[in-house]
Structures are given as C-alpha cells and as structure tokens.
Chain A
Amino acid sequence: MPIERLGGRADRGAVQYAILALLAPRPRHGYDLRDAFEVALGGNWLLNSGQIYSSLVRLGRDGLVAEVGTERGGGPDKRIWELTDAGREEVAAWFASAVPRDYRLRDELYLKLILAVVTSVARPGPILQAQRRHLLRELHDLTARRNALDPRRQLAQILLLDSALAHTEAEIRWLDVVEARLDDIRSQPLPAPPERRRGQSRRRADAVSQPPRTAPPSLPGKPSRPSLRPRIATPE
C-alpha cells in the first residue's frame, strides 16, 4: 500500500532499493551491481564495494535477496545474488510509492539567518550574499557539466543535472524573497522564547514580554533584547 510505504521506508535507503531494482530482471554479483548503479547515476554517486556488500548482507538478512552461487574468474570469486519473492514485492511497492521529500524545515541556512536577526551578532545581508555566491558557483558548475553532455546520447544524465539546477535556482529565488522582506521580518515579533524570571509562570511572562514591536530591533549596537545577546564582540 503506497501510503503505508511512505511511513515505513525510512530504514531502507536509496542504495538498497536500487540493488533490489537492479536484481529484478536477473541475478548479478556485487561488482556488477556497483557498476550498474554508478552508470545509472551518471557517475554522480559513487559507491565502494563495502557499501554494496553491507547492503546485500542487510537485504539477505531481511529475506529480500539470496545468494545463488559464485562466479569464478581470474580474480577472487564473485558471489551472485538474486531477488526472493519478498524482494520482488518490496521493489514493486517501492516503484508504486512516492519518494518522500525533505522539505527542509530543519534548514541550517534558515537557522543562521533567523539567529542573526534574533541575536544581532551578525547582519543577515552578508549571510544572504555569501550563500548567493556559493549557489551561483554551484549553478555555474552544474550548467557547465550539463552543457558538456550530448543530448542525443546522454539525456538521462542531463535530466539528473536539470533536477539539481532547478533546486539550486529555487534556493537562489528564495534568497531574493528573504532579502526583499528583511525589513518586514524586523518589524514583527521575533521567534524568541519569552523572558522569564525563575518561579514566574509561563503565562505571566508571555503577557509581559510580547508587546507588539515597533522599532527595528536588530542592528548591531542597538540590541533591544539584551538578555539574548551573547557577551562576545560583534563583527564590524
């Protein structure tokens, strides 16, 4: 059931699902799996044989894959794996389910920006610009890599890079939105906990410490919430 799968898949990573999918048409050995995985990702996600091996062991323990023999060649023997019936069900359910996305509500950049405003120890403008530079460099590199590919032969890899480009571009747009609204943010109550004296009830502290804000509070040197300001030198 797709809906249930969404909640239940957190313990199995993309690599394990990829192994199951690659084993669906035919049995393979570990090196073959690694090569097939890396080619599918256009070389953008490289694995070591340890990762493949530990994934196979884990999938074997869960009854989703089974060893069916070894291949003898010039080098060491290669263990060959196949999908079990349970593995076949697992991979079908994976294909039938949506991939949950991380909506970044625990985003470090957001944290940095909001703490710059709350604590007044840094200005948000330079933080935004440093991030913008960084993202534009990424965008530049991704664009160059994408344009070096041949759309008649390497469309699959182009589409992967397009996904990265779209996300990077979206993040740059978000920076523009934040920058345009910095002054509005400053004119609102900041997401900071109420100041409380020991023994004071939370309710009473709320009543005391949340008058509507009027003045921009967060320029360095003009702290409006002295208790939130760490005792360190402010930059500039």
Chain B
Amino acid sequence: MPKRDRTDTAISVPDSAIVRAEDLYRVYGAGAAAVVALDHVNLVVHRGEFVAIMGPSGCGKSTLLHILGGLDRPTSGRVVIDGIDLNTLNDDALSILRRERIGFVFQFYNLIPVLSAVENVALPLLLAGRRNGRSRTQESDAATRALEWLRRVGLGDRADSKPDQLSGGQQQRVALARALVAEPRLILADEPTGNLDSRSADEMLRLLRKSADDWGRTVVMVTHDARMAAYADRIVFMKDGSIVDDARLGGESSIEDALRRAEAST
C-alpha cells in the first residue's frame, strides 16, 4: 500500500473507538537473542475513556504505549488512531499525526531548559505553524493559548519561569499543558508520576482525570503504581507481552459490556 504524506486526506469513519490496536506483535533483536515485547495484543479504547495500563516492569506496557503513539512501529499488526491506520503513513505523516492528534507526557518532563514555561507550552503550536510559514499573529496567538493552558493546570503565575526554577511537580504540569495545547483528542502518558512525590503525583492524576472529564480527552496511561491507576475508569493488565485482564473500575460495566458486545457482533 502506498504511504500517504498527509493525514487530513484520510477518510474518517465514525467510530466510538479512538484507538484500535489489532494483533500487535513486536520483537526486538533477531535469532536466539530475539525478545518478544508484544505478543499479539488487541486493544480498543473508546472516546472519553481514561485507561491505565499496569503490569510488572518488562511486561511490554511502555512498548505498547509507544506503538499506539506512533513512536515505534510494530513488527506486525496495526494501530488505528481516530480512523487512521498508522501503517499507511510515512514517517513525516506520522509525525504530523502525533503533533496534531496526540499529546505525550513522559516520566522525565523533557522541557527545553532555556525556554520559559509559556514558551515550552507554545512550542507545539509554533512547530505546527512552521508548516505554512509562521507569522507574528500566529506567535502571539500561540502565546495566548499556552498561557491559558498553564492557567488551567494551575501555573498561570509561573509563565516566565524556566524549568530549573520549577519543582518536579510543576515541570510535569508544564509538560501536561504542552501536551494539551494543540487540543489533541488523545493523551498518552508513560509513567507520568514515576519521578514525583506522592502529593505532586496526586495533583498530576487529578489533572489527567480532568482532561478526560472536563476537557473531553481520551487518556491512556502506563503506570506500575496502583494508587495512580485507581484514578482511571479502566485498567488493562499486562504480563509477558500480553493483556491478561481488562477491568472496569467505575459503575458503568453494563455500558462497557454492551459496547464490547456490539463490537464483537460487527
């Protein structure tokens, strides 16, 4: 199949699923040294869900998240995000899709040290604007939106601070604002609290919860911490590269079951 270089030409099929992973298989290395990181994983995430992926280290949860986000490609199988099959995209189109439709939060905040908080948050908008040549209006618009997102994560008064002037928890909130600023529908978070004290971790999870409840995002988060996973609506358990259990935590199990049944019958 020829690979497209633009995502906006894709035909979006109305679908309650924002993420569909089908028969994902990922092997690293070859021969005797080959390690199977994902062993035929299937996963559907519906719009507005907050899903935690849990499991012991080495179970493949981070590999799965990276492949869902187009940061890594599966050896076989496919990922469909928002109706777009990532296998049909070349590397440029994939990076455009990542920038426009997915917000990433990592364990280490990955902020640019020489930029202020608001400049870090505005960066994805400025990078997107570069596509068509950036103008002064675009730049001031980006700064306004970045400031608004900083305010929403409770850092409106720290816009001019550099990362090294902020606590770990504050830096991670800047990173979340940066993930949200381009209004992506999907937030992927890889151990977002792995480097935080428990108070900052709770603050971070409340914001991820809010991203789903109030800001209409779908959140998929990898964690090994039960306290953090308990914020989610649903927990997917992994072991040895496979999904071994999938549990809904809230009281909507009947809805979820109905959705799964409907899906199984199509």
A: residues with CB less than 8 A from B are 129, 132-133, 135-137, 139-140, 142-143, 147, 165, 169, 172-173, 176, 180
Contact = CB atoms under 8 A, between A and B. Distances in A.
B88 to A, nearest CB: 37
Nearest to A129: B245
B206 interface: yes
B226 A139 contact: yes
Interface of A is mostly: helix
Given A172-B226, A173-B226, A140 B56 contact: no
Nearest to A140: B249
Contacts of A133: 245, 247
Given A129-B237, A176-B56, A180-B56, A139 B244 contact: no
Interface string B198-237: 0000000010010000000000000000110111100101
Interface of B: 56, 206, 209, 226-227, 229-232, 235, 237, 244-245, 247, 249-250
Interface of B is mostly: mixed
Contacts of A172: 226
B226 to A, nearest CB: 4
B230 A143 contact: yes
Given A172-B226, A173-B226, 7 more contacts: A132-B237, A136-B249, A140-B230, A140-B231, A140-B232, A143-B227, A165-B227
18 contacts: A129-B245, A133-B247, A136-B235, A139-B227, A139-B229, A140-B230, A140-B231, A140-B232, A140-B249, A142-B230, A143-B230, A143-B231, A147-B209, A165-B227, A169-B226, A169-B227, A172-B226, A173-B226
B201 to A, nearest CB: 12
Contacts, number: 37
Nearest to B202: A147
Nearest to A142: B230
B247 A136 contact: yes
A140 B237 contact: no
Contacts of A142: 230
B62 to A, nearest CB: 18
Nearest to B248: A137
Nearest to A135: B226
Given A165-B227, A172-B226, A176-B56, A137 B244 contact: no
B244 A136 contact: no
A36 B201 CA distance: 34
Nearest to A165: B227
